[in-house]
Chain A
Amino acid sequence: MELPRLEPLYQKYRDQGFAVIAIDGMADTDRATKFIAEKGLTYPCLENGEGEGDVVGGTFGVGSYPTSYLVDGQGRVLFVHVGFSEGDEKHLEEEIQKVLAL
């Protein structure tokens, strides 16, 4: 899911126990910080590392962007979203609501 589209969902559900964590897989600091500032993203944004710090490719094996995991309060990955299409926000919101209702 494109990051700016997550911001309204974050604002809408954060008080209900929902969080967003973004990780820049390419670790392009300059472009990422500019993008985050321009789009006004308020949730935590992290930067992927190298070697043992390679979380994106190393730990999770993610090679396609954007990829998102929706994790419940017990730490279970209950929904995976790859890519972006129009209308995906609505689908994602439904999934968030389901997980929040658990």
Chain B
Amino acid sequence: MKLIPPRGRTALGLALLCLLAVPVVAQDAADPFEQAREAFMAAEGFDARMAILKEFLSEHPNHAEAPDVLQAGADLYIEDRDDRPAAVALAEHQLTVTTDAEIVGAVRGVLLGLYAHPVYAFKLETLVTEHYDPATMTYGQHLNVLEAAAAAESWSLVDAQFKAAMPKANAETFAADYPDRDFSAEEIEVAGRNREGLIVTFAGWSQANQGDAGKAIKMYKQADEMLRKSYLGVPTNDLYRFWGQTLLMQGKSEEGFEKLTLAALYGGDDEADAIARKGYAEFRPGESFDDFAWTVRTKHAPEMTDFSAGNYQGTVQSFHELKGEKATLVAFWFPT
């Protein structure tokens, strides 16, 4: 049993969501993308849907939506068939038939994400070396490369990107990236610190994997102070998973499993959940990880904030009025 069940979506759903996520204002029925989207939604099964995506990519490689369609196809291969090589082949082929410079850049971005696996470390390093100039890369591009490099376990690439990204991880670049948004000075400052925390997280993980767990922990603590936390009190990036794994490397098992559990329970990190369960079974054979997780929960559980909202009869009601004596499930939803 997982602490947090996987999100209720299949790969087909992911691909569909990806397609549906594209802005739909001013739909043009004659637009081949709209036609493909309708056909996709009407199609059933992996083969039928993949055929529609491939046909679109083949006939319209320079269409503005081609990178999103490519991503949908890659997601289908990985999530539905667990076939990353097929996804990589699809994207590498697309790169050979795309000619529009802007679309080529976006296709490379898709490929970057697909190379985020140790098997593709060399290809990732080559792609970044040949097509991503650190002098002109944006903060967002650095972050994408850092994420891919960490997943590919390419630590030299992580370190190089961290060094190049640090001068760009601040409030000034955040404000420059959103010139039309009306952020307060405090929001900009917080966002800038969050940017720094995000890349320090990857730098710490790199240090841990290169044998310096002590330095890694120091960096995690810095990142933890800089990162924005969710309502549930944990950062929304990989920090607690990396931190937990590093503590395990140091032999600090209880602390490590605790961090991993927090990442899983309050950060929705399924990977942390899987690592914790597997590790705990080896650490304490025969003992229940769920019992351990329960103690972590009761120790770290965030306190529910009282809130008020209107019901459909026009009355404002509060959590404290409606809550159960022993247990309350607060369900955030929207009608579909």
Contacts and interface: CB of A to CB of B under 8 A. Distances in A.
A and B held together in a complex: yes
Given A46-B310, A85-B5, A91-B5, A6 B329 contact: yes
Interface string B311-336: 11000010100111111111111110
Contacts of B328: 18-21, 70-71
Contact of A23 (B4, B324, B325, B332): B332
Contacts of A33: 312
Given A36-B312, A81-B4, A83-B9, A26 B334 contact: yes
Q: What bracket does the count of chain A residues touching chain B fall in?
A: 35 or more
B7 interface: yes
A18 to B, nearest CB: 5
A36 B312 CA distance: 10
A73 to B, nearest CB: 5
A3 to B, nearest CB: 6
Contacts of B4: 80-82
B6 interface: yes
Q: Is the interface of B mostly helix, strand, loop or mixed?
A: loop
Interface residues of B, number: 44
28 contacts: A3-B333, A17-B325, A19-B329, A23-B309, A23-B332, A24-B335, A32-B312, A44-B317, A47-B309, A55-B309, A59-B231, A60-B307, A64-B7, A68-B332, A69-B304, A71-B328, A73-B324, A75-B303, A75-B323, A77-B301, A78-B297, A79-B265, A80-B265, A84-B8, A85-B5, A85-B6, A88-B5, A99-B327
B327 A49 contact: no
A98 interface: yes
Contact of B326 (A2, A16, A59, A83): A16
Contacts of B294: 98
